[in-house]
A = this chain, B = another copy of it.
Amino acid sequence: LFDGTSFTYTYLLADTKTKEAVLIDPVLEQVDRDVKLVEELGLNLIYAANTHVHADHITGTGRIKQKIPGCKSVIAKASEAKADVHLEQGEKLKFGEYELEARSTPGHTNGCLTYVCHNQKMAFTGDALLIRGCGRTDFQQGNSERLYDSVHTHILSLPEDYLLYPAHDYKGQTSSSVWEEKMFNPRLTKTKAEFVEIMKNLNLAYPKMIDKALPANMVCGLHDITDQQKSA
């Protein structure tokens, strides 16, 4: 699922037999769409998980918890954000017969996780690795050396046929693979020193939403929900 304002991908994963499901990186403004889909498909949404504390949009997890009682919010322990479940490197999130392995991939933020679904050969990389790109490292706890090590140690070390699903894409691309990014990522195929230099010279604009999004996302989005939205 895509949010055209923040260019965010939200992923709904489900075991179609047991109906247990997980939503990765929901966006506040799209919660009604997402909850409607969950209901239509007859799914039991047990987790609403974030890959990290987003700076460009407010997470939908808080609002989803209000609309789907029993659903738990999930984020990395290292993010220091409020949530029902805090994950550390190697911990698993189970839904039906499937599981997501949390891999710690800091560098864009301290608490970035990549969720790997081994039996489907898929990884949800958040902002650590984007298609032919990567998340910026110039705010929050950004650190280019750390991001380079994270991506090489925990994402590009996966088998080459694993498909990669990022948290964003700005060019209309929807998925990549470990092989593709090892071959064609213009930043991460470089040496670490070259990568750090590239990241230092991006000269990106200050994120429009950051001052609103960060405080809200540190408490899983509940912070910013008005009474009017709550009653919607």
Contacts and interface: CB of A to CB of B under 8 A. Distances in A.
Interface of A: 1-4, 10, 30, 33, 37, 40-41, 171-174, 180, 183-184
A183 B183 CA distance: 43
A95 to B, nearest CB: 20
A40 B2 contact: no
A173 B2 CA distance: 6
A34 to B, nearest CB: 10
A172 B1 CA distance: 5
Copies per complex of this chain? 2
A224 to B, nearest CB: 21
A30 B170 CA distance: 13
B174 A174 contact: yes
A14 B3 CA distance: 27
Contacts of A41: 180
A40 B185 CA distance: 11
Contacts of A180: 40-41
Given A1-B173, A2-B2, A37-B173, 18 more contacts: A1-B172, A1-B174, A2-B172, A2-B173, A2-B174, A3-B172, A4-B4, A4-B172, A10-B172, A30-B172, A33-B171, A33-B172, A33-B173, A40-B180, A40-B183, A40-B184, A41-B180, A174-B174
A227 to B, nearest CB: 26
A73 to B, nearest CB: 21
A174 B30 CA distance: 14
12 contacts: A1-B172, A1-B174, A2-B2, A2-B173, A3-B172, A4-B4, A4-B172, A10-B172, A33-B171, A40-B180, A40-B184, A41-B180
